[in-house]
Homo-oligomer: A and B are copies of this chain.
Amino acid sequence: MNTMIAIGFSVFVALLAFVFAGWLYLWVNKQESSNVKISKIAEMIRSGANTFLRKEYTILAKFALVISILIFIFLPSPIWKGSIGDNFIIAFAYLFGTVFSALAGKIGIYVATIANKKTAEAALKGIKPSFLSGFRGGAVMGMAVVGSSLLGVSLVFLITNNPTMILGFSFGASSLALFAKAGGGIFTKTADISADLVGKIELGIAEDDPRNPAVIADNVGDNVGDVAGMGADLFDSHVASLAAALVIGFSIDQLTGSHNTVLVFAYAAIGLLSSIIGVGFAKMGKNSSPTRALNSSTYITTLLFTVLTAIATWLFTFEWRIYFAAVTGLLVGVIVGIATDYFTDDSKTPVRKVSKASESGPALTIISGVSYGFLSVLPAMVGIAISAFAAYQITAPLGIATGTQIEYALFGISMAAVGMLSIVGMIISNDAYGPIVDNARGLAEMGDLGEEVIRITDTLDSAGNTVKAVTKGFAIGAAGLTVISLLGAFITEVNSAILERNLAIPLIVGFDIMNPAVFFGLLVGASVPAVFSAMLMLGVTKNAERMVSEIHRQFREIPGLKEGKEGVFPESDKCIDIATTGALKELIPAGLFTIIITIVVGLVGGVYAIGGYLTGNIVSGLLLALFMSNSGGLWDNSKKYIESGNHGGKGSEAHRAAVIGDTVGDPFKDTAGPSINTQITVVSLIASLLSIIFLTFSIF
Contacts and interface: CB of A to CB of B under 8 A. Distances in A.
Contact of A388 (B375, B519, B537, B622): B519
Given A367-B540, A385-B524, A389-B520, 6 more contacts: A372-B534, A381-B523, A381-B527, A389-B516, A487-B514, A510-B512
A74 interface: no
Contact of A513 (B368, B392, B510, B663): B510
A368 B530 contact: no
Given A389-B517, A513-B513, A623-B620, A531 B362 contact: no
Interface in A608-659: 611-612, 615-616, 619-620, 622-623, 627
Contacts of A519: 385, 388-389, 484
Nearest to A491: B514
Interface stretch (A89-97, A313-321, A541-549): A541-549
A612 B541 CA distance: 37
A339 to B, nearest CB: 12
A377 interface: yes
Contacts of A511: 512-514
A360 interface: yes
A164 interface: no
* Residue from A378, A527, A531 having most chain B Cβ neighbours under 10 A: A527
A366 B612 CA distance: 32
Contact of A515 (B377, B510, B660): B510
Given A484-B519, A513-B511, A534-B375, A526 B381 contact: yes
Pairs A-B, 3 closest by C-beta atoms: A510-B512, A363-B663, A374-B534
A530 B516 CA distance: 26
B522 A660 contact: no
Given A523-B384, A526-B381, A537-B367, A375 B531 contact: yes
A516 B410 CA distance: 10
A386 B538 contact: no
A6 interface: no
Contacts of A375: 530-531, 534-535
Interface string A373-407: 11101100110111011001100000000000010
A378 B527 contact: yes
A677 interface: no
A541 B619 contact: no
A667 B663 CA distance: 21
A488 B516 CA distance: 12
A311 B521 CA distance: 35
Nearest to A549: B360
B620 A544 contact: no
A509 interface: yes
A373 B530 CA distance: 9
Given A193-B363, A511-B514, A531-B375, A524 B611 contact: no
Contacts of A531: 374-375, 377-378
Contacts of A487: 513-514
A367 B510 contact: no
Contact of A357 (B392, B545, B627): B545
B660 A530 contact: no
A453 interface: no
A371 B541 contact: yes
A619 B516 contact: no
A664 interface: yes
Contacts of A627: 530
13 contacts: A361-B660, A364-B544, A367-B667, A368-B538, A371-B538, A374-B531, A375-B531, A381-B523, A381-B526, A491-B514, A510-B514, A512-B513, A616-B619
B516 A367 contact: no
A509 B534 CA distance: 37
A19 to B, nearest CB: 41
